[in-house]
Amino acid sequence: MELNHIQAMNLWHRVMVATLERDLPDLTARQFALLFHVYLGPPPHTVRGLAARLKISKPAVTRALDRLSALGFVKRMRDKGDRRSVIISRTVAGAVFLRDFADMAADLAETV
């Protein structure tokens, strides 16, 4: 199914409203982008790597990861090979959240 720009915006609006109606965590676009990248991109993920890949600063990545970590959606661990580096990994809670989010979006896309 190919959407025109109005349909795409309408779908995105409906998905965002549905997150509010279902009382899902309020994530920023940056937090969503990081979460999607960690779950969809091949590991390992580091703060430095995420910043470079998403073209945002390391402090911005750290702030977004603070929120995602607090929600239990990602986990930080020191890299045993390079103690200066932090590895970002997936969690069950994050996988469940994204699966439910994707299911909700797919259901709403069927009605476009």
What is the predicted pLDDT for the residue at 84?
Answer: 80
What is the predicted pLDDT for the residue at 23?
Answer: 86
What is the predicted pLDDT for the residue at 81?
Answer: 80
What is the predicted pLDDT for the residue at 93?
Answer: 97
Residues 6+ apart with CB under 8 A from 52: none
What is the predicted pLDDT for the residue at 85?
Answer: 84
Residue spans of the chain under pLDDT 50: none
What is the predicted pLDDT for the residue at 90?
Answer: 97
What is the predicted pLDDT for the residue at 41?
Answer: 93
Using CB atoms within 10 Å of the CB of residue 4, give its burial: 0 to 12 exposed, 13 to 18 middle, 19+ buried.
Answer: exposed
Contact 35, 54 (CB under 8 A): no
Domains contained in the chain, CATH given: 5-109 (1.10.10.10)
